[in-house]
Amino acid sequence: MRLTARAGAGLFAAAVGVFFYAYSFDIRQPPSLSTLSGPRIFPQMTGLALAALGLLFAVNETLNPTAFPEEERPGPFDYKAFGLTLGSLVLFILLLPRLGFIIAETAMFGIVAMAFGARRPLQAFGVGLIVALIVYYVFTQWLGLRLPVGDVFRNEPLRGALNFFGWRP
């Protein structure tokens, strides 16, 4: 009998339930509404249900672990590809406001493509740049969506230099 990952997930759900129940008392109860029709009741029911079922699930999993059938069980964990994909998303969040949509998407595309086994980095980032450019122009010019240009390009000397080359970000 040992704590499986699934049982751990049950405990996590129970903890989330306790959290929702505990912080339900921070919600202001307007005097015009009764307890049962106020804003607290449903969060409390949800929290209690999560806590109870999460605990029940954890106990159940510890006593009779349910597992994937043999053929559906995931293979060995590929930490490198997983880390690169996760990292590319974090990098995207960091780059988007600073360097703008096109560069942030190009970087993410290239890294994810490499993580999924693209062999030539130049090709991966090149395809990423083309995709980012097409998406950027279609969405900003045709569909009227505003996408960030990047704070770096708001810097006056740089903007002047880019304008000199005909690019007006």
Partner 1 sequence: MDLLTNLAHGFAVVFQPINLMWSLVGVTLGTLIGVLPGIGPALTIALLLPVTTKMDPAAAFIIFGGVYYGAMYGGSTTAILINTPGESGSLVTAIDGNKMARKGRAPAALATAAIGSFVAGCIGTLLLAAFAPTMVEWAVKISPADYFALAILAFVSVSCLLGRSVLAGLLSLLMGVAIALVGIDGQSGQARYAFGEPSLMNGIGVVVVIVSLFAVAEALSLAADPKARSEEITPLKGRVLMTREDVRRSWKPWLRGAAIGFPFGALPAGGAEIPTFLSYSLERKLSDHPEEFGEGAIEGVAGPEAANNAAVAGVMAPLLALGLPTSATAAILLAAFQQYGLQPGPTLFSGDSTLVWSLIASLLLGNLMLLLLNLPMAGLWARLLYIPRPFLYAGILVFATLGVYGASRSLNDVIFMLVVGLMGFAMRRLDFPIAPMVVGLVLGPMAEQHFRRAMQISQDDWTVFFTSTPAGPLLALAAILAIAPPLIRRWRRRSAQTAPA
Q: Which of residues 31-90 bind partner 1 (CB under 8 A)?
A: 33-39, 41-43, 46-47, 49-50, 53-54, 56-57, 60, 66, 68, 74-79, 81-82, 84-86, 88-90
* Residue 166 Cβ vs partner 1, minimum distance, rounded to whole Å: 26
* Residue 163 Cβ vs partner 1, minimum distance, rounded to whole Å: 25
Nearest to 45 by CA among 24, 27, 15: 24
Contact 22, 14 (CB under 8 A): no
Interacting residues with partner 1 between 95 and 124 (CB under 8 A): 96-97, 105, 108-110, 112-118, 124
* 7/56 Cα distance (integer angstroms): 9
Cα Dmax for the chain: 71
Q: Residues, the chain, total?
A: 169
Interacting residues with partner 1 between 129 and 148 (CB under 8 A): 131-132, 135, 139, 143-147
* Residue 157 Cβ vs partner 1, minimum distance, rounded to whole Å: 26
